[in-house]
Structure 1
């Protein structure tokens, strides 16, 4: 009875202990893409191999080396001498993660903070967390396991996506009727015109192609039609599958991969727009889980998607290692500096297209080898001239071509919506009746087309 009395002597303490025992643990706050998609476990071990003296010296810094940390850990385990039981023990120094490590060029593409706390770092290539320390980071980088992941990642990207050059976002011709059905009869002569002008890359069902005004079945049929044309003419085909409900986007992505197109392009969900770059990564990852080998690019078009606040640098850093098929970005923006930052961030892994006619000269001069522009539909030789003149060092000729290109697109776009006026200009240049657009867009009036034609003739385009 005495024992029973002791057990219930302090019921409030017992209740407090019970409450504390069932208290759930707090979940770590998601800071990077890996927090959202995978169950990661921190590792106290390392995958690195021993470094030689030269490597060790190059990696040394003011941080305490790993050997001293291990020695201190052993010293703490030793029993104190008699009479010194109460003597203070020295604390073991544990290195914390430092943001400045991310600025080191050799580790910038793959290192990030860990969800397991400030004493760990995360490798995006190996998808694993390790204990911190600058020396440990560089030792991990020298490990065969890490090198293998790095090599496989780079090789897989190079094998998947080799296209470089001018990419043309093609239009979709419609029948001049109430239903505005797709006019397949006009696609062959239109494609023949582009091939004769030297266009080697085709982007289908993007904004210029009114992809968001087409049904899923229409978009799939267009892909099949253009696939045969591109195969015959040896052109690289990329297909934009975004701008639709997620289920339809996945269906079109699977269809494009089954046809073995060159790549698929995604835009952000236009109904449930991502609030952060992590939301965007999650959206792309969901779609990638239904495909296996087709390369994926993201079309960054803030003027159309209204996603001005997405941090593209953070996006490219955090998507590394999370979506194997992801290979790059198309920048349709006049912010050349932002595009250049993306271009130089991880050039071995990601390709970056500059997709704005107005900054074509600056993009090529800055090192962009992939250019997309609406003007390639009507003036591909002018775009090609800009690229060639920069390559040959003929700056004044390149500037003259860029100025002429700007005059042409200003003379076209001043007459209405971008897609409608571009299709009217293509009709003028090719003599093909491809000016009809699908509602809610409005087809350019015939009188305006005559006015546009006279202006293009005046500046020497036709």
Structure 2
């Protein structure tokens, strides 16, 4: 019925001599979501010019992928009248210009992969993450750009700044937070000294504060600051490298804690994604880190990838590390708390000169060290740091069987500990068994293990020869 009325109206308008014009209104407010990291922070303009300064020895071909006949140098011939006549008669035989499009296969070239990406200006351009500029496509143009002084300067400064900011390599211990056995479960600062002394005696050189094992998300902002100040003095005295996790709180509080950490000159701050407003993709995550880095440009930043805890299983970490390159100078790496060793190894080899990657699970410690990881974080370092150190040293010395024996013993200990309840409660109970310190209390909503369960754990550790 509606179509019939519309056609009658059109016929009446034609009779009256009125022409109907259909107007499509485009709503500019409905902008598409950013597809690249470049869409998040700046407006970029494509450049048809190269930063390369050519010399007499440089090739003049526009693209090495073009057909040979298109790239061959030929001598210019004197145009005859007949040639001019033939050209004017047959325009279809005029020479076509070859234009190169972006190829994904270029991203597999080791020297190119860390900095190249697709351009938002179309298929005929590529984007350099280091120079933050778009250029015309072509393999020759890419390698010319690599030889440009501007690109080399950006590459050198980026790599050196990252290396100078974060020099720690080795075993990193995510420390727990002791609480008083009371209704309010206040932080028990009296137990931190003996606990820190135990870790130092075991050779622990790296400390991670207020992470998942430290119940950082159950602490107030003031408590987290007080703990950092307390541990900062301890680490300076014992010459330990201190890192602090500041995520898992409202963004304003995260920024406040990050500024506080920078003021105390910690070795690095660690971020976890917002646990309520979770990022939709890796670009969302980069934007979140960028906001915080704008307030703390002097302290190195790492991201803690812990999908089991954050539920962010769909974040592409390879794309994350590629797209964050050149955008956040203070970002230096990732803590990879997942059993997916292959995925972690991909992240490790993506840009090793700029980014450090920690393998953060005890179960794959042997495989991680054998695969080339020099940074290891594990909860077991709280309990059995010498066993973790033995795995690393045996791999270094080529004693594979000894390393396997240590990993098997570590796995038996982990199974005997974590099979009794929540990870944090079990870890604190095991530390209490190993140190004889009353650190087993956890803060609600977590539940402290019953005394009977702790006795069962102790018997199991005695059975496998840990104690």
Of 396, 400, 404, the match for 1:395 = 400
Q: Which residue of 2 aligns with 1:307?
A: 312
1:93 and 2:127 are equivalent in the alignment: no
User: For 1:220-369, what aligned pairs fall within 5 Å after superposition?
Assistant: 220-369=225-374
Is 1:31 equivalent to 2:35 in the alignment? Answer: yes
Counterparts in 2 of 1:23 and 1:424: CA distance versus 1, 3 Å? closer
Does residue 44 of structure 2 align to residue 44 of structure 1?
no
Q: In the TM superposition, what is the alpha-carbon distance from 1:106 to its structure 2 partner?
A: 0.8
TM-score, normalised with respect to structure 1: 0.90
Rounded Cα–Cα distance in structure 1 between residues aligned with 2:72 and 2:248: 54
1:166-185 matches, cutoff 5 A: 166-185=171-190
2:464 corresponding residue in structure 1: 459
| Change in 2 beyond 3 A, CA 1:238/1:51 | farther
Q: In structure 2, how many angstroms separate the alpha carbons of the residues matched to 1:312 and 1:70?
A: 46
Name structure 1 gaps, 5 residues minimum: 1-9, 72-79
Which residue in 2 is equivalent to 1:216?
A: 221
Give the secondary structure class of the aligned counterpart of 2:364: helix
Deviation at 1:290, TM superposition (A): 1.0
Aligned-pair CA distance for 1:305 = 0.6
Q: Does the residue aligned with 1:158 lie in a helix, a strand or coil? A: helix
Aligned to 1:145: 150
CA contact (8 A) 1:122 1:129 kept: yes
Pair 1:417-2:383 in alignment = no
Query: Is the alpha carbon distance of 1:392 and 1:306 closer, same or farther for their aligned partners in structure 2, counting shifts above 3 Å?
Result: same
Q: Report how far residue 317 of structure 1 moved.
A: 0.6
SS at match of 2:247: coil
Residue 131 of structure 1: how far off its partner (Å): 0.8
Q: Deviations over 1:260-295 (max 9, x none)?
A: 100000111100111111111111111111111111
Change (3 A) 1:293 1:59: farther
Distance in structure 2 (CA, Å) of the matches to 1:23 and 1:256: 45
Q: Which residue among 89, 102, 113 is the counterpart of 2:107?
A: 102
- Partner SS for 1:272: coil
Q: Deviations over 1:184-224 (max 9, x none)?
A: 00001100000000000000000000000000111011111
Write the distance in 1 (CA, Å) between the matches of 2:236 and 2:260: 17
Cα pair 1:354 1:360 within 8 Å, conserved: yes
For structure 2, the residue ranges without an aligned partner over 5 or more in a row are 1-16, 75-82
Q: Which moved more, 1:89-98 or 1:423-432?
A: 89-98
Displacement after TM superposition at 1:91 (Å): 3.2
